[in-house]
Chains A and B, each alone.
Chain A
């Protein structure tokens, strides 16, 4: 119902806007038409940078370079041979390039693809870096692209630039392109894939454990963003009709960054609003640089003042309203209507030895974190892994779940060797885990957190999400994922929180949410890292029942690390004890309780003697 209503409202809004654009040449003068065009182009650029930075969390400062590629490719394709002949003065143009000529539409698509291709080449090495290094490296690439353009005169006419590019960018063209980009972006971000992008931003480690190949996701987002950069650059070139390498300095990237910061990092709506505001303001501010005459008083223009005001605003925004206008929120017609509440309904899956660890060793330099660990877990068992601090329990978890490579030894999961697989591959095999220090995707809702977990089991491809109305399996699979997620939430008693932000949940609920999210990946084997940490006695009692219920209802095998001995002794069928990386004991809870070596490890040698006496 709401969907139909919202669709109708959207269509009406689009038609009204199209009518306005149709009349715009009569209503507005050239100056305002240009601003309107720039708003659309800047919005495309902002959306694409926002996809890279605001949504997927990669700090990239390379957009100007990708714009340059787009602008040049498109210009070279639409300029006529005669124009090219007259423009290349210092050096001759390559003969093959002279006669290449395509229609405008095709040229901007090729421009986008060329930028995306360069983006892909840049992404493969550079995206292995994180944070600030990525920013500097992309800035570096952007400058390299500019220097290449300046120096390959036979291809680009060097520092002279290109002139007389036909002004193909009409209002319908720029806003039409923005429309297509917007629809594709919104569809993609609304699908479960959008959640995956945001999950990579919020917590890459947890995303890996949800079966997401985070590197691939980052490359995808970066490449798509570069496509947008190239497209925007191409439209810009065909609007301004003159391009040269100096247009694509780092300042250009900063402008786009300003737009997304003002609008709100991670918000599509924010990018559009930010573009409208910043573009209009930048144009309007030109007045401070032009001389003004009021009556007989002449105020000379002040060069540079425009950017002074602009940069001051950027600083003020970041200090006083860091989240920008929209924060991470989006526009929706629903804000005009009261909100109904959804309600939903369930189902689950079965080898005998689930996990087999043989002679596993893990060394960090000279330190033996784990020395020769051996154990087996059978189907349906709840096994405990205990030991004093620094015993190597979490390290063992990290090896089993793929975050560390074992220095030696074999890990067999469901009969298959998984030693050396990455966490996302391990997850796909049917293993999932929680973390000692809860790792949720804090900015997402509870429901989205769980849905991100189910992405690993969905079959649709990323490009299908751009046009879900054609590839309807996107919608169907996302609906299924949602139903399942709601089921999981209600089974874990979290359904009332479904639409709340994960970070706003009370502690115990966050722990359960982490488990729900792990269950969404349809695991056969679950690793729980200190599930009772920080719980009071009553909560840990509930936790014990809950862990047994988990095994029975979801047909799981569970391995848990826990310091709360009451939980361990009550819930585990079998226990292994580690001390300083060495496997010192194993047995049923009763055997472990009276094992002198275990008591020694926990309480020291003296206590062991007393323990054996008692």
Chain B
């Protein structure tokens, strides 16, 4: 493979991987705190993409404005999901919340079909992001390919700062360790959980916007596959760990892009790689790369 082609694949993998990572962070935060797979997270991501579509293309707002509106609206949706579908089930067996999550995911997807119709809509890419830049050695990159990983890493960096340097972050880590004790220490647990959902949804919105720019279209079921893959990335990195989610996302992105780049005949199986990867890691290191071991007390 020629060098310039390889670099293009590399950047491609980096931006796909960081998108997976950005979605995975939302899964990992909620799972770390509530031990709940938020199946609706992929659909929140889809909403982010739709909101920016409607803001910019339908209502002709400037991009920057559309992005902000989309993030705010998606965050509100994420908080609503927690409030309506998960909060009443905090004391219920975990499996009930999980089924509720499946229901919510189903609901958002089909509600989107009803409101937005099931027809995919093309997204107009701003030319600034799409005009290729020539580098020496025949490498041609589009600014979007560089923007995506940069934005993703910046946001995850901010999140880590929040988690490790602020009071709410400390509370969030404490809850994931022991929710009851944290409650007794006077922490308003429900607010912190809402914060986790809000942050996860905001990041998912950003991922959704960048995804919509990358594959310039939006459709109601676009969150399904990336959602499941991002969860796999979270498990791969070690569920509950934010850096782990990012690492898992990047690995998944590289495996998907590079395997098809080097073995084009496998392209039909592209979507199966994530699942094979998942099963392998679960068998040999069930706690993921950075995860901690949880054991049952006898």
A contact set with B: CB distance below 8 Å: 59, 125-126, 128-129, 131-133, 135-137, 139-141, 143-144, 147-148, 150-151, 205, 250-251, 254, 257, 261, 302-308, 310-312, 314-315, 318-319, 322, 394, 398, 403, 435
Question: Quick one: which of B110, B235, B272 contacts A307, CB cutoff 8 A?
Answer: B110
Contact with A along B77-115 (1 / 0, CB 8 A): 000000001001100111110111011101101111110
Say how far A227's CB is from chain B's closest CB, in angstroms.
22
Point out the residues of chain A lying under 8 angstroms from B283, CB to CB: 125, 128
A144 to B269, CA, bound (A): 8
Say how far B144's CB is from chain A's closest CB, in angstroms.
29
Point out the residues of chain B lying under 8 angstroms from A435, CB to CB: 298
Point out the residues of chain B lying under 8 angstroms from A151, CB to CB: 268-269
Q: Which of chain B's residues has its CB closest to A302's CB?
A: B114
Point out the residues of chain B lying under 8 angstroms from A307, CB to CB: 106, 109-110, 113
B169 in the interface (beta carbon within 8 A): no
A596 to B91, CA, bound (A): 49
Q: Which of chain A's residues has its CB closest to B119's CB?
A: A303
Given contacts A136-B235, A151-B269, A310-B106, contact A318 B99 (CB under 8 A): yes
Say how far B46's CB is from chain A's closest CB, in angstroms.
14
Contact with A along B37-50 (1 / 0, CB 8 A): 10000000000000
Question: Quick one: which of A150, A304, A315 contacts B268, CB cutoff 8 A?
Answer: A150
- Are B286 and A129 interface neighbours, CB within 8 A? yes
Point out the residues of chain B lying under 8 angstroms from A398, CB to CB: 298
Q: Which of chain B's residues has its CB closest to A397's CB?
A: B298
Most chain A CB atoms below 10 A, which of B35, B89, B228, B272:
B272
- Are A136 and B99 interface neighbours, CB within 8 A? no
Seed contacts A132-B98, A140-B279, A141-B275; 15 additional CB < 8 Å A-B pairs: A59-B98, A147-B269, A147-B271, A147-B272, A148-B272, A151-B269, A310-B110, A311-B104, A311-B110, A315-B85, A315-B100, A318-B89, A318-B99, A319-B88, A322-B96
Point out the residues of chain B lying under 8 angstroms from A148, CB to CB: 272
Contact with A along B238-271 (1 / 0, CB 8 A): 0000000000000000000000000000001101
B190 in the interface (beta carbon within 8 A): no
Say how far A304's CB is from chain B's closest CB, in angstroms.
3
B278 in the interface (beta carbon within 8 A): yes
Say how far B24's CB is from chain A's closest CB, in angstroms.
13
Say how far A118's CB is from chain B's closest CB, in angstroms.
14
Point out the residues of chain B lying under 8 angstroms from A403, CB to CB: 298
Say how far B225's CB is from chain A's closest CB, in angstroms.
9
Point out the residues of chain A lying under 8 angstroms from B268, CB to CB: 147, 150-151
- Are A311 and B107 interface neighbours, CB within 8 A? yes
A205 to B298, CA, bound (A): 7
Point out the residues of chain A lying under 8 angstroms from B134, CB to CB: none
Q: Which of chain B's residues has its CB closest to A304's CB?
A: B113
Point out the residues of chain A lying under 8 angstroms from B228, CB to CB: 136, 139, 143
A261 to B95, CA, bound (A): 11
Say how far A292's CB is from chain B's closest CB, in angstroms.
16
7 tightest CB-CB pairs across the interface, nearest first? A304-B113, A140-B275, A311-B106, A314-B103, A307-B110, A311-B107, A315-B103
Most chain A CB atoms below 10 A, which of B106, B113, B114:
B106
5 contacts between A and B (CB under 8 A): A132-B98, A141-B275, A307-B109, A310-B106, A311-B103
Point out the residues of chain A lying under 8 angstroms from B279, CB to CB: 125-126, 137, 140-141
A228 to B295, CA, bound (A): 33
- Are A143 and B271 interface neighbours, CB within 8 A? yes
Given contacts A143-B271, A254-B106, A315-B104, contact A129 B282 (CB under 8 A): yes
Point out the residues of chain A lying under 8 angstroms from B85, CB to CB: 315, 319
- Are B278 and A136 interface neighbours, CB within 8 A? yes
B178 in the interface (beta carbon within 8 A): no
Point out the residues of chain B lying under 8 angstroms from A137, CB to CB: 278-279, 282
Point out the residues of chain A lying under 8 angstroms from B286, CB to CB: 129, 133
Secondary structure of the B contact surface, majority rule: helix
Point out the residues of chain B lying under 8 angstroms from A139, CB to CB: 228
B168 in the interface (beta carbon within 8 A): no
B contact set with A: CB distance below 8 Å: 35, 37, 85, 88-89, 92-96, 98-100, 102-104, 106-107, 109-114, 117-118, 220, 224, 228, 231-232, 235, 268-269, 271-272, 274-276, 278-279, 282-283, 286, 296, 298
Point out the residues of chain B lying under 8 angstroms from A251, CB to CB: 106
- Are A308 and B107 interface neighbours, CB within 8 A? yes
- Are A303 and B114 interface neighbours, CB within 8 A? yes
Say how far A504's CB is from chain B's closest CB, in angstroms.
18
Point out the residues of chain B lying under 8 angstroms from A312, CB to CB: 103, 107
A545 to B283, CA, bound (A): 49
- Are B107 and A315 interface neighbours, CB within 8 A? yes
- Are B298 and A314 interface neighbours, CB within 8 A? no
A137 to B235, CA, bound (A): 11
A150 to B272, CA, bound (A): 11
- Are A257 and B99 interface neighbours, CB within 8 A? yes
Say how far B99's CB is from chain A's closest CB, in angstroms.
5
Point out the residues of chain A lying under 8 angstroms from B271, CB to CB: 143, 147
Say how far A149's CB is from chain B's closest CB, in angstroms.
11
Point out the residues of chain B lying under 8 angstroms from A125, CB to CB: 279, 283
Say how far B282's CB is from chain A's closest CB, in angstroms.
6
- Are B272 and A143 interface neighbours, CB within 8 A? yes
Point out the residues of chain B lying under 8 angstroms from A128, CB to CB: 283
Q: Which of chain B's residues has its CB closest to A320's CB?
A: B88
Question: Quick one: which of B88, B92, B98, B114 contacts A305, CB cutoff 8 A?
Answer: B114
Point out the residues of chain A lying under 8 angstroms from B35, CB to CB: 132
A312 to B275, CA, bound (A): 29
Point out the residues of chain B lying under 8 angstroms from A322, CB to CB: 89, 92-93, 96
- Are A308 and B110 interface neighbours, CB within 8 A? yes
Given contacts A136-B37, A315-B100, A398-B298, contact A308 B117 (CB under 8 A): no
- Are A304 and B114 interface neighbours, CB within 8 A? yes
Say how far A32's CB is from chain B's closest CB, in angstroms.
26
Most chain A CB atoms below 10 A, which of B99, B228, B276, B278:
B99
Say how far B277's CB is from chain A's closest CB, in angstroms.
9
Say how far B91's CB is from chain A's closest CB, in angstroms.
11
Point out the residues of chain B lying under 8 angstroms from A394, CB to CB: 298
Say how far B38's CB is from chain A's closest CB, in angstroms.
11
Point out the residues of chain A lying under 8 angstroms from B100, CB to CB: 314-315, 318-319
Most chain A CB atoms below 10 A, which of B93, B100, B235:
B100
Q: Which of chain A's residues has its CB closest to B270's CB?
A: A147
Point out the residues of chain A lying under 8 angstroms from B110, CB to CB: 304-308, 310-311
Say how far A55's CB is from chain B's closest CB, in angstroms.
14
Say how far B227's CB is from chain A's closest CB, in angstroms.
11
Say how far A269's CB is from chain B's closest CB, in angstroms.
20
Say how far A300's CB is from chain B's closest CB, in angstroms.
12
- Are A140 and B102 interface neighbours, CB within 8 A? no
A137 to B274, CA, bound (A): 11
Given contacts A322-B92, A322-B96, contact A308 B276 (CB under 8 A): no
Q: Which of chain B's residues has its CB closest to A131's CB?
A: B94
A304 to B219, CA, bound (A): 13
A147 to B273, CA, bound (A): 10
Q: Which of chain A's residues has its CB closest to B86's CB?
A: A319
Point out the residues of chain A lying under 8 angstroms from B93, CB to CB: 322
- Are A303 and B282 interface neighbours, CB within 8 A? no
Question: Quick one: which of A59, A205, A308 contacts B111, CB cutoff 8 A?
Answer: A308
- Are B296 and A205 interface neighbours, CB within 8 A? yes
Most chain B CB atoms below 10 A, which of A132, A137, A205, A254:
A132
Say how far B4's CB is from chain A's closest CB, in angstroms.
31
Say how far A76's CB is from chain B's closest CB, in angstroms.
20
Point out the residues of chain A lying under 8 angstroms from B276, CB to CB: 140, 144
Question: Quick one: which of A126, A136, A308, A311 contacts B232, CB cutoff 8 A?
Answer: A136
Point out the residues of chain A lying under 8 angstroms from B102, CB to CB: 254, 257, 314
A435 to B117, CA, bound (A): 57
A144 to B275, CA, bound (A): 7
Q: Which of chain A's residues has its CB closest to B113's CB?
A: A304
Q: Which of chain B's residues has its CB closest to A142's CB?
A: B275
A368 to B139, CA, bound (A): 59
Point out the residues of chain B lying under 8 angstroms from A304, CB to CB: 110-114, 118, 220
